[in-house]
Amino acid sequence: MASLALAAGCSGSPNTHPNGDATVPAATATVAISPADGATKVAPTGALRVTAAAGKLTRITVTAPGDTNVPGKVSADRTTWTPSRPLRTGTHYQVTATAQDSSGHTVTQQSAFTTLTPAHKAAATVNVVAGETYGVGMEVEVRFKDPVSDKAAVMRAITVSATPAVLVVGHWFGDDQVDFRPQQYWTPGTRATVHLRLDGVQTAPGAYGTQQQDITFAIGRSQISTIDDRTKQLLVVRDGKLVRTLPGSLGAPGHTTYNGQMVISEKYRVIDMDSRTVGLGSSYNIKDVPHAMRLTTSGTFIHGNYWRPSFVFGNQDTSHGCVGLRDVRGGGDPSTPAAWFYNNSLIGDVVIVKGTPDRTVQPGNGLNGWNMSWSAWTTTSS
């Protein structure tokens, strides 16, 4: 403020010492920083603004512990600067801004303020774990606890990078889930990183994200398994080569299996399966189902089956929509087809079902966005 007062008092005229020597004229430019110095509970977006009058902005630095060199955008006439991303919540920022007038004289202004600590935090969960290896069909799923109203802001704050480089785009399923994938299956050996920059992003009125982290994961070998209802044989193809053929059983009439590309999203060595959890009443309640791997949110699994005779597999459809492979109760025999498939599968591996009388699985029912065209995926990506 002293600099601004000095500039106003001089009015651009030279001062003269008693001995007659002229001093250097003061800058006529002024700098204004909003919010005011010492402000608290400042909104992370829309509040910070730096302006210059009678001159051009030449340098702006905005720093905070853990958030150095905040990037920004300057107007074409270099009189206004605003940050290009949200500030972090509950953080003390310092701003230093310099402007220069037409004579080359400069003035610098400083300010400090603290952003608000949100009463409501918009928590998000991510389905990938740092350091883990996934199959080539893996989709990154970010799910919010509460509905998101500003989807565009959230989409700008979440990116996925990869080596080798590939474009990865997000697509919203409803108001609380956004999934990311490339156009084609991942290249084996890829290293990918999810960049979460949600701290300070207003997801809905009064709700702000607070997460600021990177999650790096790997893509392993390619394994794509296909079962055709006409043959009832699961063909396991790894890195382009057929490595195993396993007889299976699909959904019986009235409970047929979805067609389409489905991705393994969860693995359970043993799980209990109750038809009431998937809206099928009291149709079944099977204990100790071995080697179960989830394919859809709605309840489709590929799993071991110990309650059907061996001749069923490869010949009859007997399930309520799942893909069944021969197994023993509890999964204690490693030589069964189901045990082999479980032990040789990753979360993110692809299982394709063909030839059933059912419809194609919905893209948002599990990690199954591969059933949506790339144009549709990217057109509604925000």
| Mean pLDDT (whole number) for 137-149 | 97
pLDDT class for 6, splitting at 50, 70, 90?
very low
Say what the pLDDT of residue 84 is: 94
3-state secondary structure 239-253: CCEEEEEEEEECECC
pTM of the model: 0.86
Strand partners, 326: 305
381 in a structural domain: no
| Domain CATH number, residue 162 | 2.60.40.3710
169 in a structural domain: yes
Q: Which of 3, 12, 10 is nearest to 102 (CA)?
A: 12
95 in a structural domain: yes
Q: Is the Cβ–Cβ distance between 217 and 133 less than 8 Å? A: yes
Is 244 in the same domain as 352? yes
Is 347 in the same domain as 361? yes
3-state secondary structure the chain: CHHHHHHHHHCCCCCECCCCCECCCCCCCEEEEECCCCEEEECCCCCCEEEEECCEEEEEEEECCCCCCCCEEECCCCCEEEECCCCCCCCEEEEEEEEECCCCCEEEEEEEEEECCCCEECCEEECCCCCCEECCCCCEEEEECCCCCCHHHHHHHEEEEEECCCCCEEEECCCCEEEEECCCCCCCCCEEEEEEECECCEEECCEEECCEEEEEEEECCCEEEEEECCCCEEEEEECCEEEEEEEEECECCCCCCCEEEEECCEEEEEEEEEHHHHCCCCCCEEEEEEEEEECCCCCCEEEEECCCCHHHCCCCCCECCCEEEECCHHHCCCCCHHHHHHHCCCCCCEEEEECCCCCECCCCCCCCHHHCCHHHHHHCCC
Among 55-69, 174-188, 240-254, 293-307, the minimum mean pLDDT is found in 55-69
377 in a structural domain: no
pLDDT class for 43, splitting at 50, 70, 90?
very high
Q: What is the pLDDT of residues 288-328, one digit of tens each?
A: 899 999 999 999 999 999 999 999 999 999 998 999 999 99
Is 286 in the same domain as 302? yes
Is 104 in the same domain as 241? no
Say what the pLDDT of residue 186 is: 98
pLDDT class for 381, splitting at 50, 70, 90?
low
- On the question of pLDDT at 5 being above 90, the answer is no
Half-sphere exposure of 201 (CA within 13 A, CB side): 26
**Residue 160 belongs to domain spanning:** 120-220
Is 271 in the same domain as 366? yes
Higher pLDDT, 123 or 278: 123
196 in a structural domain: yes
160 in a structural domain: yes
Quote the mean pLDDT of the chain: 91
Is 255 in the same domain as 337? yes
Active site residues: 303, 322
352 in a structural domain: yes
Domain count, the chain: 3
Say what the pLDDT of residue 282 is: 59
382 in a structural domain: no
Is 13 in the same domain as 150? no
Is 300 in the same domain as 340? yes
Is 77 in the same domain as 210? no
- On the question of pLDDT at 158 being above 80, the answer is yes
Report the alpha-carbon distance of residue 271 to residue 299 in Å, rounded: 13
Say what the pLDDT of residue 323 is: 98
Q: What is the pLDDT of residues 220-266, one digit of tens each?
A: 999 999 999 999 999 999 999 999 999 999 999 999 999 999 999 99
Is 145 in the same domain as 83? no
| Final residue before a domain boundary, out of 163, 197, 220 | 220
Report the alpha-carbon distance of residue 366 to residue 133 in Å, rounded: 19
| Domain CATH number, residue 283 | 2.40.440.10
| Domain CATH number, residue 34 | 2.60.40.3780
Q: What is the pLDDT of residues 7-39, one digit of tens each?
A: 322 333 333 444 445 555 677 999 999 999 999
| Final residue before a domain boundary, out of 171, 191, 220 | 220
Say what the pLDDT of residue 218 is: 98
pLDDT cut 70: percent of the chain above it: 90
Is 228 in the same domain as 352? yes
Is 74 in the same domain as 207? no
| Final residue before a domain boundary, out of 200, 220, 240 | 220
- On the question of pLDDT at 355 being above 80, the answer is yes
